[in-house]
Amino acid sequence: MIGSQAEREITLGFSPCPNDTFIFYALAQGKVKIPGVALKTLIRDVEELNSLVFQGNLDVSKISFHTLGYILDSYVLLDVGAALGKGCGPLLVTVPGRDLPDIRQVLVPGIHTTATLLLRIFYPHIEDLVVMRYDEIMPAVASGKGEAGLIIHEGRFTYSSYGLVALADLGELWEKETGLPIPLGGIVAKRSLGLENIKAIQEAISKSLEYSQGHFQEAWPFIEEHAQEMEKEVAKKHISLYVNEYTASLGREGREAVTRLLELAKERSILPLSSYSPFLDAGGG
């Protein structure tokens, strides 16, 4: 097991979004432990996590599937903890009166987010991408600081309250083209940890997810603390949408979705070619 002689520090990064704090509550609070590991958790916006993983600064982390395509030589995708689904993709929003063909500038939640990858796949004519923290995009578009915004997470439940309208549902476009759930983000671990250790981490994440599923009321204060004043009902909707069968295990369909996304991006020369499989049981350890 990891660190049999002494506890080894493992860094774990996840986002403040309710689906992630729900999944990792038990691990972060010591309700579930990894034998021989002193776990150091870091809660950051997903684009910050993408950047930290690019630099190799986290052992285990939530990342965007867009980012996965760049780091396969050093990280492997875990089977648990992913955000995939149907009817849960990013939305392209703007103020009333603007039409999609006229949009040339979009505020995006990060260059390496899956949302931005999907925008580049489906609307390659939109080249002026301005990075902004995801929770600042809707107010910025509403106040005229951007022609349109690409919104993720709970934004799909709240954009109308800013007087915005949806120009496109990128998840819907993905589903029509592929028939697959949209792969948004997943959990990766450094290949250098070794197969046995990565499997122990994966099992612990599974147990943490199961703990929250049986102790929601206990987990809620932790979720609420990081949910940036999100209303409880919105947070519940967020969790029910993004924590689903694919979170417990990618399964055949989830793996197919991840593979197809990476293939599409490579075909359009957005992602580099790689000889590494994303998946743990395909030589990922």
Q: What is the dihedral of CA 264, 241, 89, 199, to 10 degrees?
A: -30
Q: In sequence order, what E strands does the chain have? A: 8-14, 37-43, 60-64, 75-77, 83-85, 91-94, 105-108, 128-131, 148-151, 165-169, 182-190
Q: Catalytic residue among 66, 112, 153, 238, which?
A: 153
Q: Which residue has the tokens 């990894």?
A: 34
79 vs 204: CA distance, rounded Å:
12
**Listed residue (263, 279, 277, 274) closest to 117, CA to CA:** 263
Please indicate whether residue 153 is annotated as part of the active site.
yes
**Listed residue (85, 64, 106, 86) closest to 271, CA to CA:** 64
Q: At what angle do helices 232-242 and 216-226 cross, to 10 degrees?
A: 110
DSSP 231: -
Tokens of 66: 């867009």
103 vs 119: CA distance, rounded Å:
12
Residue type, 147: E
Active site residues: 153
